[in-house]
Amino acid sequence: MDFISILSVFVLACFVGYYVVWSVTPALHTPLMAVTNAISSVIIVGALIASAAGSVGSAGETAKWLGLLAVVLASINIFGGFAVTARMLAMYKKKAR
Amino acid sequence: METFAPLAYLVAGVCFILALRGLSSPSTSQRGNRLGMIGMTIAVVTTLVTHFPQAKTGGAGFAIDPLVAGEILAAIVIGAVIGIVTARRIPMTAMPQLVAAFHSLVGLAAVLVACAAFLNPAAFGIADLVIPLIGAPFESIHPVSRIEMGLGVAIGAITFSGSVIAFLKLNGNMGGKPILLPARHVINLGLLAAILGLIGYFVQDQAPWVFWTITVLSFVIGFLLIIPIGGADMPVVVSMLNSYSGWAAAAMGFTLHNSAMIITGALVGSSGAILSYIMCKAMNRSFISVIAGGFGGDSGGGAGAAAAVDRPWKRGSAEDAAFLMSQAEQVIIVPGYGMAVAQAQHVLREMADKLKAHGVRVKYAIHPVAGRMPGHMNVLLAEANVPYDEVFELEDINSEFAQTDVAFVIGANDVTNPAAKTDKSSPIYGMPVLDVEKAKTVLFVKRSMGGVGYAGVDNEVFYRDNTMMLLADAKKMVEEIVKSLD
């Protein structure tokens, strides 16, 4: 993808984000933060690339270990973020009866 | 394979959009969360199959390096165990700290990925091999990628150190009082200019010292930005850091030409920005004034001098409160940070159940900045099994106070202060407040008369004829009321 198409995706996604987030009910703002936190860990993609490419290239070895550490951190976030969101959302119940 | 990967990343991005979309109502939210998990799985699996760990031999054939594959798997498993155990064990009252801690991890992961990309640009496909006339051949990183990388590492580092400070403040390891350095605005602006200048220079010269200086300066500015901000402004800070973690992911997405990362980064970035805006508006403060810091220590901690309390006020007992509420037609409960500190949400629901058994209608009114993060009170009430259709936002319930018999304020203060509507000299003037004083009776649970709210202003409601002060620890007081209701 060239820079302009990437930029287009980015700008359009900002608008999508704007409208989607305004429609989130204020009661769910804490789960919103938890889940956005989990999905922003999609940065794990970069970490995986660094780890996988690791042993190739001169500075690859250091890059690999940095990548692996980033994989650990991002995984904590992904699993922790989704799990804590699920736990919170399960608590929101309508009036019984 | 060539078109498969970008398509899969796009699907992942759409899943993330739908995940946020699901949060528009509690009934669709759990499905949304599952879609988020699916999106993440797609993104991770796609990356693994397109960047399969290759053996050192390279070139000929497609040999899998089992060692690297094992290491990656181990890294994911370690992260999963830590993450899931933390998520299961964390008490709901500690949610603001947890979110801050998670933000710091995203920030640090972004920094690490940027460093890895800087050290091994060929792996990320962002460099060309240059063979100069003199000297060894080297990988020249594309100029656009250098800017993206510089921004990514800077935002990531600011997110990391800022979130660590926010975590320490929310967790109580560090006082909530703002720490003010002399000339801090000059220092911060100088640092910011230096970082931006270095990112510009990085395009000219990809020397390691430029990259590492950007990283270090960004860590420092993240730290300096958050230390002067008081505990009560934390909802804005937490939202702002949420936003930064998104922009960091987006910047790295630009570097990697990855649509899933760009879409997610944009979503998270705008989400955090909107939450910061909502929080600022609910306090009637500008974003700049919050970031400039210096406002608001710990709530109830007596920021400013203790209010003059020689004015007449009425003190009530638990029995009085129980009697008044059991006779009421409608009671509106107004919870605040004090309720979270006292962990009074469960006993509060018990009280509401007892009242309902007496035929009283019970509702909850939530101010947008009640607590330490957006939606904090809603989660605590949900944890205590309060049905979400009994919980109302400020604009939906404010007109009802006039027809309400009892407003029960527990652990909130400034958000009920009528001075925000009338007194132009008040520091909280213009902030939207809950009109509790319009109820027939106001029951105000508070630890003592001496302390004032975080804004350091006295609350007119305390001295009104229709107000009864219930001075005690929030949890103890509600427990006593529950006993008296039997």
Mutation target among B34, B378, B392, B393 for the A interface, most CBs of A within 10 A: B378
Q: In a 3-state reduction of DSSP, which class is residue B366?
A: strand
What Rg value do the Cα atoms of chain A yield, rounded? 18
Which segments within chain A are labelled E, that is strand?
Answer: none
Mutation target among A19, A33, A58 for the B interface, most CBs of B within 10 A: A33
- Residue B348 exposure: Cα atoms within 13 Å on the Cβ side: 33
Task: Tell me if B24 sits within 8 A of A24, measured CB to CB.
Answer: yes
pLDDT at B295 exceeding the cut of 70 = no
CB-count exposure of residue B168 (10 Å: 0-12, 13-18, 19+)? middle
* Sequence-separated (6 or more) residues with CB below 8 Å from residue A12: none
pLDDT greater at residue B308 or residue B137 = B137
Residue B58: what pLDDT? 47
Which residues of chain B does A37 touch, with a Cβ-Cβ cutoff of 8 Å?
A: 99, 102-103, 106, 242, 245, 268
Rounded CA-CA distance B264/A38 in Å is 10
pLDDT at B301 exceeding the cut of 70 = no
Residue B267: what pLDDT? 94
Q: What is the mean pLDDT of residues B254-260?
A: 89
Residue B60: what pLDDT? 43
pLDDT at B303 exceeding the cut of 70 = no
B300 band by pLDDT with thresholds 50, 70 and 90: very low
Task: Tell me if B235 sits within 8 A of B373, measured CB to CB.
Answer: yes
| Cβ within 8 Å of B, A 1-20 | 1, 3, 6, 9-11, 13-14, 16-18, 20
pLDDT greater at residue B324 or residue B298 = B324
Taking an 8 Å cut-off on Cβ atoms, the answer to whether A89 and B261 are in contact is: no
pLDDT at B110 exceeding the cut of 90 = yes
Identify the helix (H) or strand (E) that includes residue B141: strand B138-141
Residue B74: what pLDDT? 94
Residue B452: what pLDDT? 59
Residue A57: what pLDDT? 58
A88 band by pLDDT with thresholds 50, 70 and 90: very high
Say whether residue A95 is in contact with chain B using an 8 A CB cutoff.
yes
Residue B314: what pLDDT? 86
Residue B294: what pLDDT? 61
pLDDT at B307 exceeding the cut of 60 = no
pLDDT at B426 exceeding the cut of 80 = no
Residue A96: what pLDDT? 64
pLDDT at B114 exceeding the cut of 90 = yes
Shortest CA gap A4–chain B (Å):
11
The pLDDT mean for chain B works out to 86
Rounded CA-CA distance A57/B204 in Å is 24
Strand order across the B391-393 sheet? B391-393, B361-366, B330-335, B406-410, B441-446, B467-471
CB-count exposure of residue A61 (10 Å: 0-12, 13-18, 19+)? middle
pLDDT greater at residue B27 or residue B51 = B27
ipTM: 0.93
Q: What string of DSSP letters covers B261-280? A: HHHHHHHHHHHHHHHHHHHH
Write the pLDDT tens digit of every residue in B43-92.
999 998 887 765 444 444 455 677 888 889 999 999 999 999 999 999 98
Residue B481: what pLDDT? 93
B422 band by pLDDT with thresholds 50, 70 and 90: confident
- Give the count of beta carbons closer than 10 Å to the beta carbon of residue B321: 24
Taking an 8 Å cut-off on Cβ atoms, the answer to whether B387 and A27 are in contact is: no
Rounded CA-CA distance B320/B348 in Å is 17
Taking an 8 Å cut-off on Cβ atoms, the answer to whether B266 and A14 are in contact is: yes
Q: Which residue, among B165, B91, B93, has the nearest Cα to B338 in the 3D structure?
A: B93
Which residues of chain B does A41 touch, with a Cβ-Cβ cutoff of 8 Å?
A: 40, 105-106, 109, 249
- Give the count of beta carbons closer than 10 Å to the beta carbon of residue B95: 26
Q: Which of A55, A80, A89 sits opposite B83 (nearest CB)?
A: A80
pLDDT at B309 exceeding the cut of 60 = no
Task: Tell me if B339 sits within 8 A of B446, measured CB to CB.
Answer: no
The two three-digit tokens of residue A62, written as one number? 């250091």
Rounded CA-CA distance B328/A3 in Å is 64
pLDDT at B386 exceeding the cut of 90 = yes
Write the pLDDT tens digit of every residue in B162-214.
999 999 988 888 776 777 777 778 888 999 999 999 999 998 888 899 999 99
Count the helix, strand and coil residues of chain B and give each as a percent rounded to the nearest 5.
60, 10, 30
Which segments within B243-401 are labelled E, that is strand?
Answer: 330-335, 361-366, 391-393
Residue B63: what pLDDT? 56
Residue B414: what pLDDT? 83
Say whether residue A23 is in contact with chain B using an 8 A CB cutoff.
yes
Question: For chain A, how many residues are written?
Answer: 97
Percent of chain A with pLDDT over 90: 67
Q: What is the mean pLDDT of residues B27-31?
A: 93
Q: Annotate B175-215 with three-state secondary structure.
A: CCCCCCCCCHHHHHHHHHHHHHHHHHHHHHCCCHHHHHHHH
Q: What is the mean pLDDT of residues B378-395?
A: 92
Residue A85: what pLDDT? 95
Residue B302: what pLDDT? 37
Residue A78: what pLDDT? 96
Percent of chain B with pLDDT over 70: 91
